[in-house]
Every structure is written in C-alpha cells, then in structure tokens.
C-alpha cells in the first residue's frame, strides 16, 4: 500500500508517518516545510490550497489512500479569513483530487473543538461524555473550518466512490512533549497539568500522538469494514487531571455540576467507544506513565 500523508512534518503527522512506515507501508509525506528523514519515506513540499499543485501531487504518486492532517491547527495562528479558507480549501482539494484520480480511501483530521467548548459566551453540553452523535456548535473561524471540512468529507462519502472518514484527535501530545518540550500553545504538559485553567479550556483532553497514529493505521487496514463517512473521537482513556472531572469541570468551565456528575473519576470527557467497537483501537499511553 502507498499512503500519502499531508502535514507529515506536524505534531501528529510525524507519528503517523513513523507508524505507517514501521508497518511496511510506502509513505509519502507532504508538507509546506517537509522534515528531512533518514529512512525511505519520500518527502515533498506542496501547497495543497493550490488546486493544481494538489492534483499534481496526487497524480505523481497515485496513492492507495490519503491521510489528510495538514491545516492551520488552532485559532489565533492566522487571521480568521486565512484560517477558514486554508483549512476548507485544502480539505476540498484533497477530496476532489482523490475522487478524480481514483484514490480509494481518504482519512481527514478534524477536531473535538467542533463541540463548541471554550466559547466565551458560554457552553453547555447536552450530555457527557461527548460522543460523535452530540451536536456541534462551532463559534470561531477554526471550529467553523473543521465543521465545514467534516461536511466536505461526508459529502464525498455520499457519492459512493471510495471511502472517506473523519477523526477528531484530542489535544495531541508528541512523544518529546512528555519530556518537557513545549506543547501546542507553548506550555509544557506538566504546566498544563498543574495550571488547571489552561487544561480546562479543552476539557482536560489529550491523546498521545502514537495512539492517534495507531488509530489511523487500523482505519486504513479495516476501512472496508467501517461504514463510509464515519466520524470518530480519538482520546486518551483518562483526562489530563489529578482530580475528578465531576469537580473540575463545574469549577473551571461553564459545565454544570449535574452534567459533569456522570463522569467517573478522571475518565475522559470524550467517548471513544466507536473506535473501539469498529476498529478494536485501544489507547496505550497516558500522562501517568509517560510524563517525565
């Protein structure tokens, strides 16, 4: 199998490329700033917001599957207009070129932030833990771009030509970040653990990049066994917290004590049972064993 990974030099992309290459997959890593590697992984700089460049990249390598991770990864890193147009344009270009050029399978990364948490106007989930059936409530350019991206993927899935899936990886922690490297946003993981306000913004969620990469690998292997257009949450089993979320969420977020009360201990506020049921995926890494 040949798999093209967009955003292959990113926080999640590096682990996805490593996991697929280790599994014997022929990997092509595409990024605006590709990371030079010592193995046989092919790297290519490409701007996928340019339709012609996207088509030529897919046509050049003719992959069996595309894992689309490339995006402006958070709000505030670029203007709202650039964030929305970049993320949605890339997703559409990747899916359209895949459809036109006969790529059999496309996996696209979205974000759990589509749920709407962090909204300064306030946010109340309909229930916890959050699962894929929970309504989305995007409120900024980044979350709007991710909801639009999901709609693009689901639209291509409805065509019935190839398989298209979405996954929502929680706050991704690269292996080096457990050892003190800055995480997304600049803080270390230990600082996020100790500064509850910082972790509360994302409902104390996280996932080790290697676990998210294993999810991608399993979805590639079992793609024909999964309903087309499926969406998945990908999260660690526990929260990045030392106290029960039933206490922390009402204290640091607008979530009511009644809604948070169903959560047991430091279990995650995100339900990953769909990934477990359909793929047999199980997260292996958590902050208690990995944080140095």
pLDDT tens digit sequence for 56-112: 999 999 999 999 999 999 999 999 999 999 999 999 999 999 999 999 999 999 999
pLDDT at 241 over 90: yes
The string of pLDDT tens digits covering residues 56-65 is 999 999 999 9
Residue whose structure tokens are 């997703």:
91
Q: Does residue 237 surpass a pLDDT of 90?
A: yes
Q: What percent of the chain has pLDDT over 90?
A: 97
Domains and CATH numbers, the chain: 2-172+207-235+269-290 (3.40.50.720)
Q: What is the pLDDT of residue 36?
A: 82
Mean pLDDT (the chain) is 97
pLDDT, tens only, 4-19: 999 999 999 999 999 9
> C-alpha distances in angstroms, 30 versus 26, 54, 117, 141, 280?
13, 10, 31, 24, 28
SS3 157: helix
Contact call for residues 168 and 231 (beta carbons, < 8 A): yes
Q: What is the largest CA-CA distance in the chain?
A: 55
Distance CA(149)–CA(11), nearest Å, equals: 20
pTM passes above 0.85: yes
The predicted pLDDT at position 49 comes to 98
The string of pLDDT tens digits covering residues 143-180 is: 999 999 999 999 999 999 999 999 999 999 999 999 99
């Amino acid at each position: 199998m040949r798999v093209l990974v967009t955003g292959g030099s990113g926080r999640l992309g590096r682990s996805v490329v490593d996991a697929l290459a280790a599994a014997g997959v022929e990997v092509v890593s595409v990024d605006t700033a590709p990371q030079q590697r010592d193995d046989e992984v092919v790297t290519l700089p490409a701007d996928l917001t340019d339709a012609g460049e996207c088509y030529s990249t897919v046509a050049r390598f003719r992959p069996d599957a595309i894992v689309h991770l490339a995006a402006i990864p958070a709000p505030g890193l670029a203007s709202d207009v650039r964030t929305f147009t970049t993320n949605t344009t890339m997703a559409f270009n990747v899916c359209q070129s895949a459809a036109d050029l006969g790529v059999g399978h496309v996996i696209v990364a979205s974000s759990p932030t589509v749920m709407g948490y962090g909204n300064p106007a306030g946010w109340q989930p309909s229930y916890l833990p959050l699962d894929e059936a929970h309504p989305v409530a995007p409120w900024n350019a980044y979350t709007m771009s991710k909801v639009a991206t999901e709609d693009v993927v689901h639209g291509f899935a409805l065509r019935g030509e190839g398989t298209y899936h979405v996954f929502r990886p929680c706050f991704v922690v690269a292996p080096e970040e457990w050892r003190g490297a800055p995480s997304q946003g600049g803080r270390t993981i230990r600082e996020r653990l100790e500064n509850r306000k910082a972790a509360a913004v994302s409902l104390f969620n996280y996932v080790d990049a290697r676990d998210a990469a294993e999810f991608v690998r399993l979805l590639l292997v079992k793609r024909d066994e999964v309903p087309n257009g499926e969406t998945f949450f990908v999260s660690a089993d526990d929260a990045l917290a030392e106290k029960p979320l039933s206490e922390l969420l009402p204290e640091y977020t607008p979530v009511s004590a009644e809604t948070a009360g169903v959560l047991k201990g430091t279990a995650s506020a995100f339900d990953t049972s769909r990934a477990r049921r359909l793929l047999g995926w199980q997260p292996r890494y958590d902050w208690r064993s990995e944080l140095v």
